[in-house]
Amino acid sequence: MTVPFGQRLASAVADRGPLCAGIDPHPGLLSAWGLTADAAGLERFALSATEVLAEHVAVLKPQSAFFEAYGSAGIAVLERVLVLARQAGALVLLDVKRGDIGSTMAAYTSAYLTDAAPLAADAITVSPYLGFGALEPALAAAQASGRGLFVLARTSNPDGGQVQGALTSGRSVAQAMVDEAAARNAGATPMGGVGVVVGATIRPGELDLTALNGPVLAPGFGAQGATADDLVKVFGPDTASVLPASSRDLLKHGPDPAALREAVLRVRETVAVLAR
């Protein structure tokens, strides 16, 4: 991938809008689709959802944990999801939230951010809470291969504020992570490839994202209660780089492909204004 992730993402959003659709094969959703909570049910769910969603969104976000729960059979399904999504023209953001130090982080990097890796994605989520510098192997590999990273900053879960809202050197830990990402994106056009994860449910003005020059993954949209209006309140009028993420709110419309397609097109239109 010689074209930087930030450039590829900007092009995808311009073509398809900013919606990020999640593939979360939660056991409850498998049951709602009339499927068994095993590798066969996982495969039917994940591939069916990907076939419908991937052609309509800029970014598809499989949640790795729900595939890992089924062992090697689940990982094999995840590999097929990655291929299918790319064939449909979607960028794949693999939600793995990896974060470690030294050789362990380098091994995670080899698993997800190199061309030869079976689980190679366009971008992955990473956790900086062993120190932002611990992400260096991933940062270097992503830059070299034209891939992206989304660094957890201020997540949408209620307990996140306990750590992410703590103050250090006069700013919150979350703001420190945003500032570190901004430093990596400085000078990139149309934007850098180091994004941050900031929940759409946080308080307006809680973070200063003006210098980020990178994408923002915004979980909390849809099932967790945030609306398109909330996105503007939280992130301000300049929302072109915000990717609202929706999974359960879309996937509940399956297994009927037509209903799922109608849902993703409706939500895509709702958030399309953010990319203008």
Q: Buried b vs exposed e over 41-78: b needs ≥16 C-beta within 10 Å?
A: bbbbbbebbbbbbbbbbbbbbbbbebbeebeeebeebb
Tell me the C-alpha distance between 75 and 81, whole Å. 10
Catalytic residues: 97
Q: Residue written as tokens 């959703």?
A: 29
Six-digit token pair at 133? 């510098």
Residues 6 or more apart in contact with residue 154 via CB below 8 angstroms = 160, 161, 164, 165, 172, 174, 197, 198, 199, 202, 206, 207
The two tokens of residue 68 are: 């890992």
Establish whether the linkage from the previous residue to 257 is cis, with ω within 30° of 0.
Answer: no
